[in-house]
Amino acid sequence: MQSSSQGLAPTAAAALERGLACNLDDVIMTVGLSKTFPGGIRAVESLNLTVAAGEIFGLLGPNGAGKTTTVGMLSTRVIPTAGEACVGGVDIVAEPALAKQAIGVVAQSNTLDRSLTVWENLYFHCRYFGADKAAARARADELLAQFHLADRARADVATLSGGMAQRLMVARGIAHRPHILFLDEPTAGLDPQSRLALWEILHGLHGEGLTVLLTTHYMEEADQLCDRVAIMDHGRILALDTPRGLKASVGADTIARVATTGDPAAFAAALAAGLGDGARTETGDGAVTVFLKGADGVVPRIVALADAGGFAITDLSVSEPTLETVFIALTGKELRE
């Protein structure tokens, strides 16, 4: 943890003196950050992470993992019960109002103001953050053009499609030009086309240097969008690395799933013996999964071993590790159950 107070906002320097080393390089930093809700539900337990300026950082985990609670604490909506965190060089517990100025938030649910038009949602947000009328007008117009919503400017927000509403929420999230954008499940419930459109937008914002923390339970989203990903379950981070690093941690680059007639355990033993060093097998759901290094000739070798052992193959698929594979390896369960 860096502890230089040079160049920090005075409040961040004050936080530093209290022991929390907020700094502007790690734009998000948490130390033992925890939230236990009344009734004893431990939603987030001792979260330690740092996010560097300009990163797209992903929290990947299933329902109830603690993703929204984490975003809630970092965006000052939820008060931590233990631990500390800095966002944009500011201690979020000591200086929540100041921290809020550095961040934009796109919540998991639709939080657009239904009594306002599309344009007014942006205009009043800018006014709320201190822009004068002319500047707020100009910014609202600019954002509607940038997010391809200009033709809906006067529309009621209730008439927007899910994808349009989500684009408007992102536009509103960045309207006051925050340094950090929190996106909680930004593409949940969107059709594939709208999801891709939103990914494009996020790539663009990333290119402009915005730091993004997003939560998702879509492994493809974490894999394709994020520079680094923390895999979360039951309020804890189980692994944290680049998507490539996480997938490499599985220790295999080829995964074959084979269903045959006969006893899966006997077939697994035949495969382990026949495929040689480095091949690891698991049985479950009536099939054998083999983890291998190298994909060359895998299918013919498996077919030959099945033939030799008198097993008839009923299903065979070969794939590369995904973040889902990593999650299963860590927890023994699938991301979406």
Ligand X SMILES: Nc1ncnc2c1ncn2[C@@H]1O[C@H](COP(=O)(O)OP(=O)(O)OP(=O)(O)O)[C@@H](O)[C@H]1O
* Chain positions contacting ligand X, by CB under 6 A: 37, 41, 43, 61, 63-69, 108, 217
**Spatial separation of the C-alpha atoms in residues 74 and 68, rounded to whole Å:** 10
Cα dihedral 297, 298, 299, 301, rounded to 10, equals 80
Q: Minimal distance in Å, beta carbon 183 to Mg ion?
A: 11
**Spatial separation of the C-alpha atoms in residues 206 and 193, rounded to whole Å:** 20
**Spatial separation of the C-alpha atoms in residues 203 and 218, rounded to whole Å:** 17
Closest residue by beta carbon to Mg ion:
68
Contacted by 69, from ligand X, Mg ion, none: CB < 5 to 8 Å by type: ligand X
Task: Please report, for the chain, how many H helices and E strands are present, in that order.
Answer: 12, 14
Contacted by 100, from Mg ion, ligand X, none: CB < 5 to 8 Å by type: none
Q: Minimal distance in Å, beta carbon 230 to ligand X?
A: 12
Contacted by 125, from Mg ion, ligand X, none: CB < 5 to 8 Å by type: none
Q: Which residue, 131 or 165, is less far from Mg ion as judged by CB?
A: 165
> Which chain residues interact with Mg ion by CB under 5 A?
67-68, 108
Contacted by 308, from Mg ion, ligand X, none: CB < 5 to 8 Å by type: none
Q: Minimal distance in Å, beta carbon 101 to Mg ion?
A: 24
Specify whether the CB–CB gap between 8 and 24 falls below 8 A.
yes
Q: Which residue, 37 or 128, is less far from Mg ion as judged by CB?
A: 37
The SS3 assignment for 49 reads strand
Q: Minimal distance in Å, beta carbon 237 to ligand X?
A: 12
**Spatial separation of the C-alpha atoms in residues 1 and 189, rounded to whole Å:** 38
Q: Which residue, 63 or 193, is less far from ligand X as judged by CB?
A: 63
Q: Which residue, 58 or 264, is less far from ligand X as judged by CB?
A: 58
Cα dihedral 36, 37, 38, 42, rounded to 10, equals -50
Q: Which residue, 108 or 146, is less far from ligand X as judged by CB?
A: 108
Specify whether the CB–CB gap between 53 and 24 falls below 8 A.
yes
Q: Minimal distance in Å, beta carbon 64 to ligand X?
A: 4
